[in-house]
Amino acid sequence: MEQTATAFELPNDIVPLVPMRNVVLFPHVLMPIAVGRPKSVAALEQVLHRDSPIGILLQRDATIDDPGRDALCTVGTLAKIVRHVTDADKLYHAVCQGIVRFRIEEFIEGYPFLAARISRIEEATQITTQTEALAVQLRERASEFMSLVPGLPAELGHALQSTRAPAQLADITASLLDAEVSEKQMLLEMLDIDARLQKVLQILSHRIEVLRLSKEISERTKEQMEDRERKFLLREQMKAIQKELGEGEDNEQDIRQLSEAITEAGMPAEIETGVRKELQRLQRMSSASGEYSMLHTYLEWMTDLPWQLPEDVPIDLPAARQILEADHFGLERVKQRIIEFLAVQKLKPQGRAPILCFVGPPGVGKTSLGQSIARALQRAFVRVSLGGVHDEAEMRGHRRTYIGAMPGNIIQGIRKAGARNCVMMLDEIDKLSASLHGDPSAALLEILDPEQNATFRDNYLGVPFDLSRVIFIATANVLDHVSPPVRDRMEIIDLPGYTQEEKLQIAQRYLIQRQREANGLQAGHCTLTIEALNKLIGEYTREAGLRQLEREIGRVMRHAALRIADNPQLQVHADVDDLEAILGPAKYEHEVASRTSLPGVATGLAWTPVGGDILFIEATKVNGKGKLILTGQLGDVMKESAQAALTLVKALASTLSIPASIFEVVDIHLHIPAGAIPKDGPSAGVAMFVALASLFTDRPVSNEVAMTGEISLRGLVLPVGGIKEKVLAAQRAGIKRVLLPARNLKDLHDVPEAVRSALTIIPLETVDDAVQAALTSK
């Protein structure tokens, strides 16, 4: 056996073999093949070099990459390579023409390709009358088949009509059929011409019947469908064909799973009846239609909702107290109200729970209080954010009339919690707003009303859902933006803010540890002294809550983490003197003394949505004609307070020893920094009067005094709101004495004892009391 540089010299009865995965080549048929396996490529190169035939045969298992002799069929087709090309991936594409059948007699080893000794299988030359009759029948059926299949070239029909040899006619027709590979291999191995013709006729007749039925269904369906439903026509044809052949499955498994889920959901009887009707409608639909997916999603929502009420867990009040004490420092009145709420729930589990609404500045622990209630009740907790919601459908759900419809936020929260008696927090209820799409606050009226929410109807579900066992807890920063009907359905619990001592305790107990863990530090890696924490609270933050304080502590921890990452053995101790190097210079300072060192400057107390604050009221006079100039973005109420204060100063000019003529020769300018922040409200009258009195009497206001209250033209000091927030703001700013309307002294009950003892509270009945307490000597 001689070997050249590119090919082997093979005897005539030994041919290279190319196994094919899912292709059967018949004699007299042209067929393209793609060859990429190394042995197959070597076999193709061998026959191309020698211009010899190649053996094409089917491998039994298409998943085998390197088939052996046991994985190959024993009968194949000897073929000639008509054309071939090679692509960039070394993959050969060749066009083969079948010559004759062969049978493998013996596999030959020792070549880089599969090779075998073969024996050719010649067709019988003697043709019987039955063979001729079968050939005539096959030719007619083949012509009928080609007329039903669009797109076949006309030359193929001429070739079939001109083919006279029955064996050749059977092979060409078999190659046209979209039969299984195993059926085609069976036809290839049929050596009896009559049996082969009968089998091809059988397969061809089945395909013709399928094509006829398809054509009938197409014509029948076409009459019933409109032009806009043509896409649906193809899917309906496929379904009808599968049904006639008994090959369709109609999503039985999916329908069965939904039916089991409906049974397990425990819906009320009338609701389950309606849902099962929808399931029957789904079963009759095509899975390819758009409505199918919409209805399927609806049924999934219905089965996922917790219709059954879980068993109530007994409430342990001592454990609830421990949870509240462990999670929150201070807030004694709030925690006492929560314990009372839990006690009522324990005594009357089936009773209707009141809707609590926690109102306070950001960062005072409103959301965490709701989580603590859920832990104490051992119920699921879910938070529904209402900030920015302006569409009623966000609360009641969208109607199922279009793709993308969803239930409202309430039902989505119930599904997320997985329990019908969950604790649901309606966060930022004051951020709801009405729009052209409706008022979501109106939808809240039904949700929060214990008399109505037992039959709450979501537009998407279309059936009532019982919300009576849900414990609703709302949060808000201010109540001014909450509609009165909604406010009437809630019990308001104020969380005004923390004192400096409370912030210190919370930082030591919770914030330092939380930030230490968040930054990957161990207990001994970084510590802050009490003095450093006090400076952080007083000079780097000025807020009612704790968020900025936690951020500043986090900055200290990150600074420590950077140093410890370089030296793992290092321990960082942050003291007062280290804060400026870590955080920069202090952001806030007690500037009351410097701002009130001149006559005409008074310190007022203001309420803001994020807690109380101090503001300075500055007055000066210039030559003019008695005009009042107001700056600082004052609202209408503050402008009227300023005018009333000036009028009252003029009225009391003799009492204050102010020459009456001075008001005619000067203009008064009243300014409230900062000018970029809008300001309004009724509580600045006393401070404006004192600032004007200080200006005209040339007596500075004491730098230890801050004040609040409205005035009347009779000189009376009228009560105002937000006393607790304002007193806490005065204490944070370093004020020593606070002037309050006498009728507001009852509101000091809400102020912590530590703050009351640190301040001197001076009640005001008239503006004379304010002048006497606030103004110093010249």
| Active-site residue set | 683, 726
Q: What are phi and psi of 678, to 5 degrees?
A: -65, 145
CA distance linking residue 120 with residue 499, whole number of Å = 103
What angle (nearest 5°) sits at the alpha carbon of residue 115, between those of residues 109 and 120? Answer: 130
DSSP string, 443-492: HHHHHT-TTTGGGEE-TTT-SEE--TT-EEEEEES-STTS-HHHHHTEEE
CA distance linking residue 394 with residue 410, whole number of Å = 9
What angle (nearest 5°) sits at the alpha carbon of residue 444, between those of residues 440 and 449? Answer: 165
Considering only CA atoms, which of 730, 615, 596, 629 is closest in space to residue 677? 615
CA distance linking residue 629 with residue 643, whole number of Å = 10
Six token digits for residue 411? 């039902």
Six token digits for residue 400? 């199922």
Six token digits for residue 99? 């010559």
Q: What are phi and psi of 79, to 5 degrees?
A: -135, 160
Would you give the DSSP letter of residue 540? I
Considering only CA atoms, which of 435, 425, 360, 348 is closest in space to residue 391? 435
In this structure, the number of other CB atoms found within 10 A of the CB of residue 191 comes to 15
Where on the phi/psi map is residue 397: left (φ > 0), alpha (ψ -120 to 50), or beta?
A: left
Are 662 and 696 within 8 A, CB to CB? yes
CA distance linking residue 268 with residue 100, whole number of Å = 73
CA distance linking residue 33 with residue 20, whole number of Å = 9
Per-residue b/e over 143-177, b at no fewer than 16 CB within 10 Å? eebbeeeeeeeeeeeeebeebeebbbbbbbbbbbb
Are 767 and 694 within 8 A, CB to CB? no
Six token digits for residue 673? 């920094």
DSSP string, 734-757: T--EEEEEGGGGGGGGGS-HHHHH
Are 364 and 258 within 8 A, CB to CB? no
Six token digits for residue 342? 């839990």
Helix (H) or strand (E) holding 423: strand 423-427
